[in-house]
């Protein structure tokens, strides 16, 4: 396997793992209340609350239309990322698969970027109490959201390697 393709395949795989991890972790938005830290964690698949220091209770949220669209885009991106790194592996036997891998990787990047743009529109929900693209001071971005953005950056870099735009000296 070409070294650039090996790097690209590995980075697409890592981005895929990061996106799946961020999706299943409920800490996209967390509370910053000094009296009750981390008592609310909002995610796309689950929301968790800790009431008065007792055990954490998690439940499936009813998503706003913006967050539901974000969820659909992230699921599409996961499917595209998984398909991309599999096609890069298959391209060692069938070279034409690499062309498809590059385009599907690019589609995954578009899905991730759209999800990152649409998600903050949903900050108006009652649990947060903010406005689109503006969080109140009582809540903040959680580690899942940071991991999601790292996945976007990794996807950009892996796409550059797949297209052989970024050619380091190996």
Q: First-to-last CA distance in the chain?
A: 13
Q: How many CB atoms lie within 10 A of CB 36?
A: 13
Q: How far is CA 106 from each of CA 13, 91, 122, 146, rounded to the nearest angstrom?
A: 14, 17, 26, 21
pLDDT at 156: 94
Pairing label, strands 40-42, 139-141: unpaired
Rounded mean pLDDT of the chain? Answer: 88
- Phi/psi class of residue 133: alpha, beta or left (left: φ > 0; alpha: ψ in -120 to 50)? left
Give the mean pLDDT of 62-66: 92
Residue 165's CB is within 10 A of a number of other CB atoms, namely 9
Which region holds residue 92: left if phi is over 0, alpha if psi is between -120 and 50, else beta? Answer: alpha
Instruction: Find the mean pLDDT for residues 151-158.
Output: 95
pLDDT in tens, 116-144: 999 999 999 888 888 999 998 888 999 99
Residue 77 confidence (pLDDT) above 70: yes
Q: How would CATH label the architecture of 3-162?
A: Up-down Bundle (1.20)
Query: Which residues on adjacent β-strands are paired with residue 139?
Result: 31
The pTM of this model reads: 0.89
Task: Break the chain into its structural domains and give their ranges.
Answer: 3-162
pLDDT digit string (tens) for 23-62? 999 999 998 765 555 578 899 999 988 777 678 888 898 9
Question: 81 Cβ partners below 8 Å, 6+ apart?
Answer: 12, 15, 16, 19, 105, 108, 155
| pLDDT at site 116 | 96
Q: Which residues on neighbouring strands pair with residue 48, listed in sequence order?
A: 41, 58
Taking the CA atoms of 26, 30, 31 and 37 in sequence, report the sign of the dihedral they define.
positive
Q: What is the pLDDT of residue 165?
A: 54
Question: CA–CA separation, 147 vs 129, rounded Å?
Answer: 24
Q: What is the pLDDT of residue 167?
A: 52
Widest Cα–Cα separation across the chain: 59
pLDDT of residue 38: 57
What is the band of 93 on the pLDDT scale with cuts at 50, 70, 90? Answer: confident
Flag whether pLDDT at 166 surpasses 70. no
Q: What is the pLDDT of residue 170?
A: 47
Residue 1, pLDDT above cutoff 70: no
Residue 92 predicted with pLDDT over 90: no
């Amino acid at each position: 396997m070409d070294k650039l393709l090996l790097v690209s395949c590995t980075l697409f795989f890592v981005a895929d793992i990061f996106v799946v991890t961020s999706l299943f972790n409920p800490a996209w938005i967390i509370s910053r209340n000094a009296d009750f830290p981390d008592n609310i964690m909002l995610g796309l698949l689950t929301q968790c609350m800790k009431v008065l220091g007792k055990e954490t209770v998690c439940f499936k949220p009813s998503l706003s239309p913006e967050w539901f669209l974000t969820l659909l885009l992230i699921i599409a991106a996961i499917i595209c990322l998984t398909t991309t790194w599999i096609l890069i592996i298959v391209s060692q036997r069938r070279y034409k698969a690499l062309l498809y891998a590059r385009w599907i990787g690019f589609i995954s990047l578009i899905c991730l970027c759209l999800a990152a743009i649409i998600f903050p529109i949903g900050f108006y929900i009652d649990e947060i109490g903010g406005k689109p693209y503006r969080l109140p001071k009582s809540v903040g971005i959680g580690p899942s959201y940071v991991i999601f953005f790292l996945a976007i950056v990794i996807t950009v870099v892996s796409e550059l390697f797949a297209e052989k735009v970024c050619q380091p000296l190996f």
